A and B are shown apart, each in its own frame.
Chain A
Amino acid sequence: MKVKPKHQRLVLVVLAATAMIGAVLLAMWGLQDRAAYFVTPSDIAAKKVPADKSMRLGGMVVKGSLKRDPDGITIRFTVTDGKAETPVVFRGITPDLFKEGSGVVAEGRLDPNGLFVADNILAKHDERYMPPQMANEAVPR
């Protein structure tokens, strides 16, 4: 294909604009069902949360709620935001800073029975670090 030199810049500008619009459209399409919403136990109690959609649950691990299944690798605990509680199940090794009474963010899905099935547990990574979402949710310390 031959492009007249005079029109070359125009072609390039149009191409660049198309690419950028394409990127944004592609991104919006991708974000539609792949962004994980941050929810709290109160949101779940208020039935605002659809089951089987990827999301992050944030709160504190209730003291005394941490139980281990007989298989030795599945753990169950309860997350609270001070108003409501959600039971969580997780299969795997918990992060270093995960313990009862401390903050936690669990990634996963809500099953139809209201149990949160976590694929991943994120804990605070150092003493000074707190997920901003959690700080905003004003979890009582």
Chain B
Amino acid sequence: MIAEAGLAALWLAAALAGLQLALAFGLGGEKGRSVSTIRGVALAQGLLTLLAFGALISVFLNSDMSVLLVAENSHSEKPWLYKFAGAWGNHEGSMLLWVAVLALSGAVVALFERRLDDRTLGATLGAQAALALGFFAFLLFASNPFERLDPAPIDGRGLNPLLQDPGLAFHPPTLYLGYVGLSVAFSLAVGGLIRGNFGSAIARAMRPWVLAAWVLLTLGITAGSYWAYYELGWGGWWFWDPVENASLMPWLAATALLHSVNVLAARDGLRAWTMMLALIAFSMSMVGTFLVRSGILTSVHSFAVDPTRGTFILALLAIYIGGALILFALRIAHVKEGAPFELVSREGGLVANNLILSVILGIVFVGTLYPLIAEALSGEKLSVGPPYFDSVASPMALVLAALMMIAPQLKWRRDAAPILPRLAPGLLVAVAALAATFILTPNIGMLPRLGLAIGAGLLPASLLPLFGRSLRRTPLSIWGMAIAHLGVAVAILGMASDSAFTEEKLAAARPGETVSVGPWLVEFRQVMPVAGPNWTALEAELRASKGSGAVVLNPQSRYFPSPPTTTNEAAIDTSWNGQLYAVLGERDEQGRWQLRLWWKPFVTLIWLGGILIALGGAIALVGRMVRERRQRIRGEEAFL
């Protein structure tokens, strides 16, 4: 019953999306009254989609095995959190979540957007409806989450044990909110292009969405990275896996957009460029969805390989991205040139930021799609992995970080004052750090060495824009920028430290033996059987000591009966200066156990940096909203 209600809600929402599209571009979209109708339709569409998603969660929580999706992906013995999160731990459910966020974003725009004129808002909601319509069709015709199974099995197949982790409850929804939040920027750009509105009003409407989506993408990527780090047991935090790249590409585009939308909102410059980026950012979200959902690339995240789905999403992609680019090409001649600026200015710095981010995006894009293109053209099968991305994308990222030392301190329009005094603090620290690495650790690679130097220099440089201001009267958005840039410095230091100083030990040990890794002496005490709610495990007891203190680590080798799978659960001990990471392998014929140990100095800075970046974005978002509210109230008072 609930499943049918969910399906009905989905059909109804799809019909409303069609109606919304028609109202926006067909039936007298010029009148003010029809905009309020469109607003209502968008709201109803969002609520119905939310209802459908609620229905899916309900059938998962109740373990309704007569629903095909539940039977294939859930199990009645599973802890409730994984039943709940299992609703989106599969293809159909995750697409429903995607569409639900898309429709709800449209509803929120319809409810709260007051900055835009009716015509532009109508066209924007029309574009949002057009997006929703395609993905509703995909859901209803190619991935129905509510399909019934008759006869119903006694119990389900269970959720992939790798996904049975609290991270699943948090990571995909956060990323999806970020991916799909960018759809609003896309729709606003389309609406603006159609109605010939390219000014700062569009940018101001776009900015909170870009900021919020970017904050969530940052959090989602950070969480996903940490999740892969501890769950996969490979000791790595980024694998340049196609799906990771699929989330990185929208993030890169959104980062560029975030910076250029500020120029448009504050200075009315970079008009065409900002519109283009808004189109590209959500296009990258769709490309990411295509890569993940079509199962076309080898990846941990591909749920199933189904050619019809891949073709369907590819068609949607071609329509939306192609349509948007054609619209851009047709309308771009009507975009008047924005306010002028000189090369050495804040705008100039932001243009450089955008160009470098675009180059990195291009490098990641080419590397991710190259295997597909090569196979299509020459039939050769190949994969592009860390050697490519590390050596091509990472140096560009360091160039960008170096630029961050000076650009935020430049003045708008033109900056004639000498640069060097403002650059000096960061530069001195960077040079000192570089010298220190040559003296203390002469044998590390060039890239981590530069990373340590530039990261260290960026620490003070990122805070310089706060210098000489009254800290209490500094706008929140400046604080946000400084904190986010500080986060970049922290993350770069963590990445460089991890790749420069990580020590790894692979050993076969009997209980009672001691293994050393980095500064740690690890005593392998024993292996004991333990049991969890839906798994049994062999658990090792490791006593790690360094000087006086000692910690106990318990890496496990877990066995899940449904579906029958073994997974490694790494044990991680976090101290202020790094992490000790232990994985238990198999036992050999002579009674020795495989142990893999890592000592990773300051690796936690990577995720701390990610959190700081997101925090900076959140602070800037709050600052913008408070300021706009104040301005609106002031405006209303002046009107009275």
**Which A residues contact B (CB, under 8 angstroms)?**
1-3, 5, 8-9, 12, 15-16, 19-20, 22-24, 26-31, 34-38, 54, 56, 68, 71-73, 91-94, 96-97, 105, 107, 125-133, 135-136
Contacts and interface: CB of A to CB of B under 8 A. Distances in A.
A3 B374 CA distance: 42
Contacts of A28: 366
Contacts of B383: 35-36, 38, 56
Given A26-B392, A31-B370, A93-B596, A8 B384 contact: no
B362 interface: yes
28 contacts: A1-B343, A12-B273, A20-B358, A22-B359, A23-B362, A24-B366, A26-B392, A27-B362, A27-B367, A30-B391, A31-B384, A34-B388, A36-B384, A36-B387, A38-B383, A56-B382, A73-B508, A73-B594, A91-B506, A93-B585, A93-B586, A125-B160, A125-B300, A128-B304, A129-B303, A132-B297, A133-B381, A136-B381
A14 B60 CA distance: 54
Contacts of A24: 362, 366
B86 interface: no
A30 B367 contact: yes
B366 A71 contact: no
B49 interface: no
A12 B351 contact: yes
Contacts, number: 152
Interface in B288-310: 295-298, 300, 302-305
Nearest to B396: A26
A110 B343 CA distance: 51
Given A27-B366, A127-B563, A135-B305, A34 B359 contact: no
A133 B363 contact: no
B362 A20 contact: yes
Interface in B248-290: 270, 272-273
Given A1-B342, A19-B359, A94-B586, 16 more contacts: A5-B340, A16-B273, A19-B362, A26-B396, A30-B363, A36-B382, A37-B380, A72-B590, A73-B507, A92-B506, A93-B596, A96-B567, A127-B160, A128-B304, A129-B302, A136-B381
A88 B517 CA distance: 27
A67 B359 CA distance: 47
Interface in B362-397: 362-363, 366-367, 370-371, 374, 380-385, 387-388, 391-392, 396
B566 A71 contact: no
Per DSSP, are chain B's interface residues mostly helix, strand or loop, or mixed?
Answer: mixed
A91 B592 CA distance: 15
Given A2-B342, A56-B383, A132-B298, A27 B392 contact: yes
Contacts of A129: 300, 302-304
A90 to B, nearest CB: 11
A97 to B, nearest CB: 7
A15 B583 contact: no
Nearest to A40: B381
A31 B296 contact: no
A30 B162 CA distance: 33
Interface of B: 157, 160, 162, 233, 270, 272-273, 295-298, 300, 302-305, 337, 340-344, 351, 355-356, 358-363, 366-367, 370-371, 374, 380-385, 387-388, 391-392, 396, 506-508, 563, 565-568, 583, 585-586, 588-590, 592, 594, 596
A16 B305 contact: no
Contacts of A127: 157, 160, 563, 565
A68 B162 CA distance: 27
A30 B596 contact: no
A102 to B, nearest CB: 12
A1 B585 contact: no
Contacts of A125: 160, 162, 300
A68 B587 CA distance: 11
Given A2-B342, A132-B295, A96 B563 contact: no
Given A3-B342, A34-B388, A16 B358 contact: yes
A129 B297 CA distance: 11
A34 to B, nearest CB: 4
B419 to A, nearest CB: 13
Contacts of A2: 342
Nearest to A105: B298
B508 A71 contact: yes
